[in-house]
Structure 1
Amino acid sequence: MNTSEEDFFVLSELSPGSAQKWLALAVVFGLLVLVFIAAGVLSNVQPHRIDAFVPAYTTAMFVSDSITAILLFAQFSILRSRAILVIASGYVFTALILIPWILAFPGVFVPGRGLIGGLQSTSWLYFSWHAGFSMFVIGYALLKEAEPDNRITNAIDSMIEVGGSRVLSVESKMHEDGHVRVSVADTGAGIGPQDIDRIFNPLFTTKPEGMGMGLSICRSIVEAHDGRLWAVPNTPRGAIFHFSSIRSVSA
């Protein structure tokens, strides 16, 4: 098969599970408690001046934005999505603008003024920081809306080099024992007999630039929900991926 396995597994496209939702709710609740304590119980406490607070805050923001940009650029190298490229560039912008912002911040390097600019430079840089990143977010949303489903595009790409008819089909079937099976079939190059049992192994890939993690992680997720994921050759050519799972009670 011409498409790499990791194209079928993208973290940013997964829906959060119940445990992740509860964790997010707990984090929000914890932050609200901290705000309540700071605004109520500790409202009359005068904190001491900490000269290293602004540099430490700026450093943390720079590291966080830089790591986020690196992860997004890595995802762009796999998906080739212009929307991801735009938002990754936005995080690079926010990381870089922190440099002149901290240099212009009054009192950090020079008492009473900034190392560069005037007294209003910090405010203008702060405004440019947040307004500029908002433009990147808007660009990301517009491009993401315009892009086709990446999984369908990858499946089509797998059949480009094959002559004749090109058919991509998705089929679902409910069995009497309560299992639901979903099948995705294409008429591409297919999977070699020597690879049919190895494509789900970690770090195995059929493309030079592949990572070989997608199908392995997908199988782990399916099996964790008492399901099964497997692949078989299609007729007359191509491949069929099946996965089955127990039907949800709410369904």
Structure 2
Amino acid sequence: MRAVSAVPEERPLTLVTLPPSRTQRRLALGVVLASLIAFSIVAGPLSTFQLPRIDAFVPCYGTAIVVNDLITAVLLLNQSAISRSRATLAVASAYLFAGLMVIPWLLTFPGVFAPGGLLGAGLQSTAWLSVLRYFGFPAFIIGYALLKDADPPRGSWEGSVGATILSHVAMSTAIVCIATVLVIASDAYLPAIAIDRVHFSTFWRYLASCLIVWCAVAITLLWFRRLSVLDLWLMVALCAYAIEIYLSAFVGPARFSAAWIAARIFGFVSSILVLSVLLHEITTLYTQLLRAVLAHRREREARLLTGDTVSASIAHEIKQPLTAIAASAKAGLNWLDRVDPDPNVDRARDALRRVEAAGQSADAVIENIRAHFKVGARTHASLDIDDVIQGALAAVRDRLRIHRVAVRADLHGLLPRITGERIQLQQVLVNLMTNAIDAMAMTNGERVLFISSEVRDSGYVMVSVEDTGNGIATDAVDRIFNPMFTTKPDGMGMGLSICRSIIEAHHGRLWVTPNHGRGAMFHFTVPIASGSAC
């Protein structure tokens, strides 16, 4: 089993809070190893290789970095608006600062827009703007690492989301503008990094060493703090940052060398790493949200279908005793309304008794349905299956008489007792008998209802109900037990589905087999009670 770090319920699911998965850790390690392999190749065989100057490379590189960093900053600002986290604002400001700093670096780069650069830049302006970018990005990341685990009063902010974000954007822009003005204005007084428009001085190596250590400090703080998905990929980005600085200072201390070009490529990789992860995680979260919405809709539809099914099952089960009540009451009234000869009180009394029995049956059905939805409410008892069959035959006696259906019962008489609920098993038999009677009512031939019970070798008692109706169509056999499927013009399609669920709840099985003559044959099994014998 894989251990999963839990996110507190009050904390939103963002990259700042989500722990990295094992796959993400392996992927990050793979990116670092691939970067080190590429670094070793560049620092070895290609260290002295000088490429021809490509004027279009610098503006293309600068534009790509600006676009990547600003898009990353926008996505992180949206994350901070969701989480109201100062730490997320800090890392968003890091990418905003790094992206904006590339703009003056690009404008002042010698030979891109002007031989000496724009904005009145001097020889050292471009190099020092690059140094400030290399220093500022890890500085913001360090601030993020220190803020991310702060107490909620210090680590979160209140008030208008838009105003807070705009203030941080304005602050980052102001820092970039002030730094650019100061660097250009003090160009003549800055320590020399560039010897000319191509080569760098030895001082750049000492400064680069300090910047690499600065990146290592940021990586260390992220490592020892609570690690999240964002922390993991920020560490990878800082590793690429450190490699970029090392290649620029120690391997290719000259512009447009192979190492300098490779350093720019590492800079591009560093800018696109977190952006790619953000896009991937946002897409993943969106996919999960979409699946959750679809699952919620399916659950809602299932609840509606369940409600329809329950109401249909209740109506189906209550309809039979209510029909019996109405028929018996009508018969009793007919016997009492007779004038010549005198009213038959005895037959009217029998009809009223059937009304009472049907009413009790309806009450038992209702209680049984209620118990069906209560956990632990079902109680099984030892039963004689033949008694259950006789009770079901008594319940459909009037329907048998009306449709002139003969009954042939082949009951064993000495069957072992079973364990079950009398009302539920009687419901199954009444449903099967009623379906058989309705099927035979539409035929003109012999109408016989066959009922039999026997012992199966596997420790079950099997009951069979057979009719002489028109049978079941071949294409309907596989669907006949599905809810809402019916072959009757006025059927609800719930009877056989309810019967199967009842039998399965008794650990038995209900199925249909084709009749060799005509009609249909339904069978169900119920386990024999433990300790019972023939």
Please give the TM-score of this superposition, normalised by the length of structure 1: 0.52
> Is structure 2 residue 145 aligned with structure 1 residue 138?
no
- Pick 1 or 2: higher relative contact order, CA cutoff 8 A, min separation 6: 1
Structure 1 position 22, deviation (Å): 2.1
Q: Is the 8 A contact 1:75 1:84 kept in 2?
A: yes
The amino acid across from 2:18 in the alignment is L
Aligned pair 1:217/2:288, yes or no? yes
Q: CA RMSD in A?
A: 3.3
Q: Counterpart amino acid of 2:28?
A: A
* SS of residue matched to 1:108: coil
Partners in 2 of 1:88 and 1:31 — Cα distance? Answer: 24
* 1:69 maps onto 2:73 in alignment: yes
Query: Counterpart of 2:32?
Result: 28
**Per-residue deviation at 1:7?**
5.1
Judged with a 3 Å threshold, the aligned counterparts in structure 2 of structure 1 residues 45 and 126 are, in CA distance, closer, same or farther, namely closer
Among 75, 88, 95, which residue is 1:91 paired with? 95
Q: How far apart are 1:82 and its partner, in Å? A: 1.5
- Opposite residue 91 of structure 2, the aligned amino acid is I
Pick from 42, 45, 64 the counterpart of residue 38 of structure 1.
Answer: 42
Q: Which amino acid aligns with 2:288?
A: I
Per-residue CA shift, 1:140-164, capped at 9, x if unaligned?
A: 2232232339xxxxxxxxxxxxxxx
**CA deviation after TM superposition for structure 1 residue 70, in Å:** 0.7
Report SS of the residue matched to 1:119. coil
Gaps of 5+ in 2: 1-8, 154-283, 293-534
The list of structure 1 runs, each at least 4 consecutive aligned residues, that deviate by more than 3 angstroms after superposition, is 5-8, 39-46, 213-221
The residue matched to 1:10 in structure 2 has which SS?
A: coil
Tell me how far apart the structure 2 counterparts of residues 218 and 146 of structure 1 sit (CA, whole Å): 29
The two structures have a TM-score, normalised by structure 2, of: 0.26
Map Cα deviations across residues 13-72 of structure 1 (whole Å, 9 max, x no partner): 222222222222222222222223333344464423221221122112111111110111
Amino acid at match of 1:22: R
2:141 and 2:36 mapped to 1: Cα distance?
26
Match for residue 362 of structure 2?
none
Q: Which residue of 2 aligns with 1:114?
A: 117
What residue ranges of structure 1 are gaps of 5+ in the alignment?
A: 150-212, 222-251
The CA distance in 2 between the partners of 1:6 and 1:109, in whole Å, is 52
Q: Is the 8 A contact 1:6 1:215 kept in 2?
A: no
- Against the structure 1 CA distance between its residues 21 and 146, is the aligned structure 2 distance closer, same or farther, given a 3 Å change threshold? closer
CA distance in 1, matches of 2:100, 2:42: 31
Structure 1 residues 8 and 132 mapped into 2: Cα distance closer, same or farther (>3 Å)?
closer
Alpha-carbon distance change, 6 to 29 in structure 1, aligned in 2, over 3 angstroms: same
For 1:93, the aligned partner's letter is: F
2:108–2:126 contact (8 Å) kept in structure 1: yes
3-state secondary structure, aligned to 2:145? helix
Between structures 1 and 2, the one with greater helix share: 2
Could you tell me how far apart the structure 2 residues matched to 1:87 and 1:20 are?
Answer: 20
Aligned match of 2:478? none
Which of 54, 57, 79 is 2:58 aligned to?
A: 54
Return the alpha-carbon distance in structure 2 between the equivalents of residues 86 and 94 of structure 1: 12
Separation in 2 of the partners of 1:26 and 1:214?
Answer: 24
Which among 8, 11, 23 is matched to residue 15 of structure 2? 11
**Alpha-carbon distance in 2 for matches of 1:17, 1:35:** 27
CA contact (8 A) 2:107 2:118 kept: yes
Quote the residue 1:248 is aligned against: none
Aligned residue for 1:12, secondary structure, equals: coil
The share of aligned pairs that are identical, in percent, is: 51
Go from structure 1 to structure 2 and tell me whether the alpha carbon gap of 1:219 and 1:15 turns closer, same or farther (over 3 Å shift): farther
1:197-217, Cα deviation, whole Å (9 max, x unpaired): xxxxxxxxxxxxxxxx97983
Distance 1:45 1:104, change over 3 A: closer
Q: 1:124 to 1:68 in 2, by over 3 A?
A: same
Q: Is the 8 A contact 1:69 1:92 kept in 2?
A: yes
Partner of 2:152: 148
Cα distance in structure 2, aligned partners of 1:107 and 1:216: 47
**Alpha-carbon shift at residue 75 of structure 1 (Å):** 0.5
